[in-house]
Amino acid sequence: MTMVAFERGFERHTSKSEDGCRIAWWSGGNRAGRPVVLLHGFALDHSVWAPLCAQPLLLDSCHVVVPDLRGHGASGRMATPDGYTDGAAWAADLDVVIRDAGLVRPTVVAWSFGGRSVLDHVRRYGSDHLHGILFVAAASLAHFASAGPVHSLLEALCAEQAMEVAAATERFIIEVLGVPREAGDVAVLTAAALRCEVEHRRWMRRRALDYDGLIAGLDLPLMWVNGEHDGIVLPSRAQVFRELLPDARISIHAGARHAPFRDDPARFARELLDFITDPPPCRRAAADLHPDH
């Protein structure tokens, strides 16, 4: 799977966010289908979703929109730390993509660092316009006991020494994502990582993980997916998530690592479509059923 293969059948667009940052995004699949937004993780770009975006089930059933986060991929770079440390800016990026793509009640799939973006968005805009959120080993809860044994690689990706950054990038792609060393995806994802400037990565990581209260109050269908062998976010975080939100759907992918949508994209596509068409209960749904209470 390569970046070129991902973009076949997908159309590239550019939107301008509230502060002027250009946000690149791609759309494909069934334009009349269920709207889905896929948010990638730290120091990568839209191409990480290539295996999932090749699944016929997803493409036949869903209108798929895949942005590059600010500072990543083909999206704009900000000149000062404020362009990355202000959660309202990330919130506005997702808002402009949803609006410009014409999406009505999309499901947002937020992987790893992408969890911050969707939570920033909900903090600013609420969640009534969203169908649901599927978190994939996402930056979300400040539960540091569930940080995995190679979580420190995220710091190494921000190191001062270029050789240390290069070594951390290779380890992240091969060990954390589980991409075979000889696969073409190693070159594709390495190129994506190199486009995210190291100084900007440091700026992005300055913010505290302060979403616990927000998550506890979420009132839309939610799902948490984790890989059994995730070295960044341990599967135990799923249990913490369930304790906060008992109705949330949980799925642990046996044998998978930090990106289960790459380890078994067919299974992930099935679970995503099931989540969209048969969502778990939530307080909002209960209120819809009993409007007078």
pLDDT tens-digit readout, 79-108 = 999 999 999 999 999 999 999 999 999 999
Average pLDDT of the residues of the chain: 93
What is the distance between the alpha carbons of residues 258 and 11, in angstroms, rounded to a whole number? 28
Alpha helices in 86-171, H assignment, sequence order: 87-100, 114-125, 153-156, 162-171
Residues whose CB falls within 8 Å of the CB of residue 147, separated by 6 or more in sequence, listed in order: 232, 233, 234
The pLDDT tens digits of the residues spanning 232-267 come to 999 999 999 999 999 999 999 999 999 999 999 999
At residue 137, what are phi and psi to the nearest 5 degrees? 40, 50
Tokens 């999309």: give the residue. Answer: 106
pLDDT of residue 139: 82
